[in-house]
């Protein structure tokens, strides 16, 4: 009996604390407070509400894995902020493939983001008000995602630029690398080749490719008994490079449960490399190749020759 009691106490001690969605939301608002303070310090106007409406999600039943990827986007933009102030860039955190990402992981990422912002504040000798974490109720994953949308847009204002095609290309290459990991694991020979570069291709063209990829990944997820998401709300008419960056994040996040189900739980999406002189047509060409490779993977998994 004594041994059982000791084991029970050990299990309780070793178990991780659950973080409620309201706590995650509160920590996200704290990040927004710090970013707003940076805007004030550098005398930059707050983001126009119409721009936030452009990015805001209203209907999509967004999942924690998608929201987690939005925090990665925020860390990329914090790196841009560091670089513009002559501070060395730090590689954003990546995560192993998980079938069902726990919302608690969002709280962990928030703490990392807060730490990076506080480091910047200290290095630049910025006075910070004593922000206190507020209390919230009935907050959902979508609510938290939309806070990240506002934070990301505020960082664009702070950086005085949106994400360039170079950054978008780097994330598109991470998708390519993830697919390569799956091909190697399943011993699939990739005989696809990229289509010819289409000059004057636009972010809108790439968006259409991204939407096709997300639909295909959703179909593959259903075959693997993974709950899929309808991302139709992300299909926009007024397309910015930041929209494509967000879609690359969604694609990466949707690849993770597939990797986990296939047995690649220890796999981590490779880090982004730095690229120069990339244009929207380069992004479109690579995204089109990613689509062709995923079609091959899907056909082979279904036994289609």
Digits of tens for pLDDT over the chain (305 positions)?
555 555 544 444 456 678 888 999 999 999 999 999 999 999 999 988 887 887 889 999 999 999 999 999 999 999 999 999 999 999 898 899 999 998 899 999 999 999 999 999 999 999 999 998 899 999 999 999 999 999 999 999 999 988 999 999 999 999 999 999 999 999 999 999 999 998 888 999 999 999 999 999 999 999 999 999 999 999 988 888 889 999 999 999 999 999 999 999 999 999 999 999 999 999 999 999 999 999 999 998 776 44
How far apart (Å, rounded) are the C-alpha atoms in residues 156 and 245?
13
For the packed helices 21-41 and 141-159, what is the interaxial angle rounded to 10 degrees? Answer: 10
How far apart (Å, rounded) are the C-alpha atoms in residues 74 and 54?
17
How far apart (Å, rounded) are the C-alpha atoms in residues 171 and 165?
10
Q: Phi and psi of 96, rounded to 5°?
A: -65, 160
- pLDDT at residue 16, as a whole number: 66
> How many other C-beta atoms are found inside a 10 Å radius of the C-beta of residue 86?
7
- pLDDT at residue 82, as a whole number: 96
Q: H or E segment at 50?
A: helix 49-55
CB 220 within 8 Å of CB 298: yes
- pLDDT at residue 162, as a whole number: 87
Look up residue 247 and give its two tokens. Answer: 């879609």
How far apart (Å, rounded) are the C-alpha atoms in residues 25 and 274?
32
Q: H or E segment at 110?
A: helix 104-123
How far apart (Å, rounded) are the C-alpha atoms in residues 194 and 286?
7
207-231: b or e for each residue (b if 16 or more CB lie within 10 Å)? bebbbebbebbbebbeeeebebbeb
Furthest-apart CA atoms within the chain: distance in Å: 74
How far apart (Å, rounded) are the C-alpha atoms in residues 286 and 252?
14
How far apart (Å, rounded) are the C-alpha atoms in residues 38 and 35?
5
- pLDDT at residue 49, as a whole number: 82
Q: For the chain, which residues make up each domain, given as ranges?
A: 18-161, 163-305
The SS3 call for residue 96 is strand
CB 257 within 8 Å of CB 226: yes
How far apart (Å, rounded) are the C-alpha atoms in residues 241 and 159?
15
Alpha carbon of residue 163 to chain centroid: 14
Task: Give the single-character DSSP code of 226.
Answer: -
Q: Phi and psi of 268, rounded to 5°?
A: -120, 130
Task: Give the single-character DSSP code of 269.
Answer: P
């Amino acid at each position: 009996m004594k041994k059982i009691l000791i084991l029970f106490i050990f299990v309780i001690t070793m178990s991780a604390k659950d973080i409620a969605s309201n706590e995650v939301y509160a920590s996200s608002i704290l990040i927004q407070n710090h970013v707003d303070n940076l805007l004030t310090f550098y005398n930059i106007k707050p983001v126009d509400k119409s721009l936030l409406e452009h990015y805001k999600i209203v209907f999509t039943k967004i999942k924690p894995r998608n929201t987690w990827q939005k925090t990665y986007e925020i860390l990329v933009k914090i790196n841009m902020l560091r670089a513009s102030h002559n501070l060395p860039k730090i590689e954003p955190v990546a995560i192993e493939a998980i079938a069902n990402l726990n919302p608690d992981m969002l709280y962990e990422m928030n703490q990392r983001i807060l730490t990076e912002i506080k480091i910047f504040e200290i290095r630049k000798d910025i006075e910070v008000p004593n922000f206190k974490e507020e209390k919230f109720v009935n907050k959902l994953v979508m609510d938290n995602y939309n806070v990240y949308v506002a934070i990301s847009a505020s960082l664009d204002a702070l950086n005085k630029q949106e994400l360039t095609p170079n950054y978008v290309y780097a994330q598109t290459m991470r998708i390519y690398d993830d697919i390569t990991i799956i091909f190697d694991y399943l011993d699939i020979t990739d005989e696809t080749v990229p289509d010819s570069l289409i000059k004057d291709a636009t972010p809108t063209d790439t968006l259409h490719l991204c939407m096709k990829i997300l639909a295909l990944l959703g179909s593959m997820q259903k075959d693997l008994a993974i709950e899929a998401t309808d991302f139709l709300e992300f299909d926009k008419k007024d397309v910015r490079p930041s929209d494509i960056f967000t879609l690359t994040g969604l694609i990466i996040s949707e690849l993770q449960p597939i990797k986990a189900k296939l047995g690649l739980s220890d796999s981590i999406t490779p880090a982004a490399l730095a690229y120069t002189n990339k244009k929207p047509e380069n992004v479109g060409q690579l995204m089109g190749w990613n689509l062709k490779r995923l079609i091959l993977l899907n056909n082979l998994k279904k036994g289609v020759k």
